Amino acid sequence: MGKKPEYEISKLEKDGILELVFKGEVEKDSVGELYKKVYDLTKSTNVNNVLIDIRALRGRFGYTEAYFRVRNYPSDIFKVNTACVDLAEHADYQNFHENTSVNAGLSFKWFTDVNKARIWLKSLSTI
């Protein structure tokens, strides 16, 4: 049995964007719980633009996990524009995650700059 994951999620809703900032560590066997929390927070706020900042989160997962996770998202998540902010050192994984998401029909884009992520989300609100 692995150690209990220790992470925090802070939430801020501003200008029609739900910003979720993750800090701490998550293990592979608890990532499903983390995604459920993100989904529940998104659904409870009734917004269409979500910024997920995982730069301070330790723990990354493989390409296969990302592929199957994206393919199993609930159908109403496809109505949400999602910007993911991560460190540049995770670019290969995030590019794969972005491509997989877009191919599945999601509005998802990866950034290393939180302000560019906000600008992208705000631009979708004006369409």
Task: Report yes or no on 43 lying in a domain.
Answer: yes
Number of domains into which the chain is organized? 1
CATH number at residue 57: 3.30.750.24
Tokens of 114: 């939180």
5 pLDDT above the threshold of 60: no
Alpha carbon distance 121, 109 (integer Å): 9
Q: pLDDT confidence of 3, banded at 50, 70, 90? A: low
Task: Report yes or no on 60 lying in a domain.
Answer: yes
SS3 at position 79: helix
This prediction's pTM:
0.85
Contact 51, 114 (CB under 8 A): yes
Task: Report yes or no on 113 lying in a domain.
Answer: yes
Task: Report yes or no on 56 lying in a domain.
Answer: yes
Buried b (16+ CB within 10 A) or exposed e, 80-95: bbbbbbbeeebeebbe
Task: Report yes or no on 1 lying in a domain.
Answer: no
Residue 20 lies in domain: 6-125
Task: Report yes or no on 14 lying in a domain.
Answer: yes
DSSP alpha helix (H) spans, 9-59:
31-45
| Per-residue model confidence as pLDDT tens digits over 51-100 | 999 999 887 776 677 766 777 776 777 788 999 999 999 888 888 889 88
